[in-house]
Amino acid sequence: MAFAIKRIYDAPEASDGHRVLVDRLWPRGVSKERAELDEWAKDVAPSPDLRAEWHRSDDPARFDEFAARYRAELDANPAAVALLDAGRTHDHVTLLFGARDERANHATVLLDWLAAHGADAER
């Protein structure tokens, strides 16, 4: 089971495998046809309160705090376990996100969480 992350604005590729959007909100300017999604796992995204707090501050210095709080949410989230199960049924799963910052975003935290729970993670 291999997981990778990719911006949803990047073109879909055959190597993406099972494509899963992990944002709670649909990304602007992307049609459902263009997204070529296999799944929309909005329940694995940060809670609305945590997401709103992170986007209000958007301070890179606070990313570690955001990441710790999001990991705690993932530990208690059945949707995160379901995502791990998707990795067991698909050779490759690409987690899609809409954030501009490709390093300080919830998808990187999710990828690290999956790796800590036994998944192969590629950046």
For residue 6, count other CB atoms closer than 10 A to its CB: 17
Report pLDDT for 16: 96
Count of structural domains, the chain? 1
pLDDT by position in tens, the chain (length 123)? 699 999 999 999 999 999 999 999 999 999 999 999 999 999 999 999 999 888 777 677 889 999 999 999 999 999 999 999 888 899 999 999 999 988 889 999 999 999 999 888 877
Range of the domain at 68: 2-122
Are 99 and 8 within 8 A, CB to CB?
no
Instruction: Output the pTM of the full model.
Output: 0.92
Measured distance between the N- and C-terminal CA atoms of the chain, rounded to whole angstroms? 14
